Structure 1
Amino acid sequence: MTSFSISGLSSGIDTSSVISQLMTLAAAPQNALKSQLNSTQSELSAYQAINTKMAALKSAADKLALPSTWAATTATASDTSIVASGSSTAVAGTSTTFSVTSVAKAQISTFSPADPANAATAANGLDLTIGSTTTHLALAGNSLSDVASAINSAGLGVRAAVVNTTNGTILQMTSTSTGAANGFSLSGTSATQQNIVAAQDATIAVGDPAAGGYSVSSSTNTFTDAIPGVTFTVSKVVTDANIGVSTDSSSISSAVQGLVSAANDALSIVSQATARGAILAGDSSVTQLTQKILGVVSAGVSGGSYATSGIGITATGTVTFDSAAFSTAYAKNPSGVQKMVQTSFSGAMSTVGAAATDSGTGTLTQLITADNTAISSLNKQITAWDAKLATQKSSLQVKYAAMEAALSKLKSQSGYLTSMFNSMNGQTSSSSTSSG
């Protein structure tokens, strides 16, 4: 039996301690539910972490299966002043020769008024024309500073600054964008605009434009439509530059490596969660994922092994990828390697990932759903026990309080009777003495 401590209360019993110990016993079922809740929450976290890695596996597999991944190209320019890049829409094996006849420039102009304090002549302000659009600018005053302030406040793509030079104070205006369309003029000033740098487009010429060739221009130094699927940027005038397009095998290799890495990430987290003593130890639904991932690689394809494309398995159960071996194989037989890796390898891995993570039928999805349902139920049961235990504690407090009150009353009555009997005995003794 449970022993209770004795205190100096009127009842001789420490009722608070008694109630506390009784409530500890009463709360045992709720504590068991809390323990079950903690275990289920840990299990849920493990399932969710594995689900994330398996979803990443499927994502990497689906990326490798995309036609655009295998259509990746790289563009190389013969001149270092040209930086080029290819896309999946560029045609590998094509080559284009052209000359850069001009580079894009932003206009820079100056005004040098004889009297900087009276730089504006028009009483109602200035007119700033950019391309074919004219905007009227109101002035707070006629000085160069007032003119600069009006231009900058307008926010039209032209910046102005007052500069003190060895030849006097001037106003410098600079377009914030390159290209002929961003050329500007300012009217209403006391001085003539001097264009230091004219606004200019970048231009390339393919062949002789006067004899069947053509020119392409860009307001910036970057061209996106001159060569299909290729973007390139020029930085100086050059003659007979060449851009060649080839298959970007390194990009494809990176996509294969991405899938292999995703597979190893999934294998690692499954191994940790199912190790001896771990939260999912012995969970066959999870341990099977390891078998399925490694099974894809070991099964290979009909009449061949993924090892010929650089994909293999180590003795410790991880997937490996030899990019050099892949590049060599792809260079020799691009269509064969593509079919093996893009269709078979990525397709099989995507199937494994989908079987685990599908929103409706995925094994991990169903386990996660089950745990979420269990957690919701446990929380409701625990909450119900809170109310039940509170009622039980209140009832015990009332009972023990009543007991204390009753015992206190009995003790008071006992004291009164004892006092009364003592008094009566005293009177009897006195009478006997007097008679003698």
Structure 2
Amino acid sequence: MARFTFKLPDIGEGISEAEIVAWHVKVGDRVEEDQSLADMMTDKATVEMESPVAGVVVELAGEVGDQVSIGAALVVIEVEGAGEAPATEPEVLEAENPGVEEAAAPLPARDGPGVGDGSEEPVLARDPSPVDVSQDRSSKIEPTPDPSLAGRGVLASPAVRARAKDLGVDLAQVRIAEGDRIRHADLDAYLRYNAGQGYNAPHASAAHADEQVRVIGMRRRIAENMAASKRHIPHFTYVDEIDVTELERVRADLNANRGQRPKLTMLPLMIVAICRTLPDFPMLNARYDDEAGVVTRSGRVHLGMATQTDAGLTVPVIRDAQDRNVWQLATEIARLADAARANRLTPQELGGGTITVTSLGPLGGVATTPVINRPEVAIIGPNKIVERPVFAKNARGGDDIVRAKLMNLSISCDHRVVDGWDAASYVQALKKLLETPVLLFAD
């Protein structure tokens, strides 16, 4: 038998390491050629690693959450034949079809630092157990004592015992009013009496053992990116109120006549307004290389769309948003959101944004202070739409109180390249379009 060492290939874009986010095999498993081995996450995307050979898995490089350097051993597979099988040599991969080349490089067997410390080859685990990507294998919850066990010798119906257990009551402490069996009335009397003595029955928020959960995968990437953004960028946020009453009426009319086209939310209309106003504010549609001291002002709008998924916040990019109408934008928004939630986004769909929009939809609050998606310099956050009474001029020159739909709009900017005056002026330009939506469709 020979051993084949599968090294982590170069996933592209200068990535030096990748994180193990899921193992699809374990030591001892038989794998076939092209069978999925593991999911590896980079800053750009999650890539599935496939086996280039058939055989039996004998070694794995670490556990979920560990970092593996490009070119380091990922999996060792025992194959048919004699001697040491050639190991893989990394090459640039496409997101969905990893490839390998041959090179003789046996896997070192030694003790040393854990996988992904960035200093040495990873130590391969000889017999790791399958790991749930959402849980730390070392985490555990101590069993909660059953408070009704102390009263096991007391006579009571199963229903009374179950209720006492839920309430955390020791049946041995309950006084029997009649007969030799504890009844619900006896339990009620016990609770009433002890309520006056400061007794509180446990409920859904009762304390339980602490639980440790490793920050891995997408959640770790989000943590690193947000920390880098706040560490490098001096944020400031500007908020203004916008009357979207007419915009909501226009949206309702468009949806009533949409035919087979997707239903419009506020977001496509917001993106049209953003694209219409950005040419007059080029420093907002830009990327800042702070190491080189260069701001690249983009001539096109590649708009990031913050999307919540089960794995965390993802920002797919709508390419050339300025060339799309509201219906095309609605279609692309739905496609990218579905791909994000199914973890099917490509690296091209995750990079190259020039400005980002983030919205919590109906969950949005009064105002937000969104964090900039570095190296971009601005992020826009529409907030929740609320109905409130406002004053409006009438035909007699007086004021009437009318019902209006109002929305606060937040924008966070990089104060190194964007001044407060520019941010405020840009929001005022957005406000004009959103409050007069006929301008969105004018040439």
TM-score band, normalised by shorter chain: under 0.3
Give 1 or 2 for the bigger CA radius of gyration: 1
TM-score of the superposition, structure 2-length normalised?
0.22
TM-score of the superposition, structure 1-length normalised?
0.22
Of Structure 1 and Structure 2, the greater strand share is in 2
Of Structure 1 and Structure 2, the greater helix share is in 1
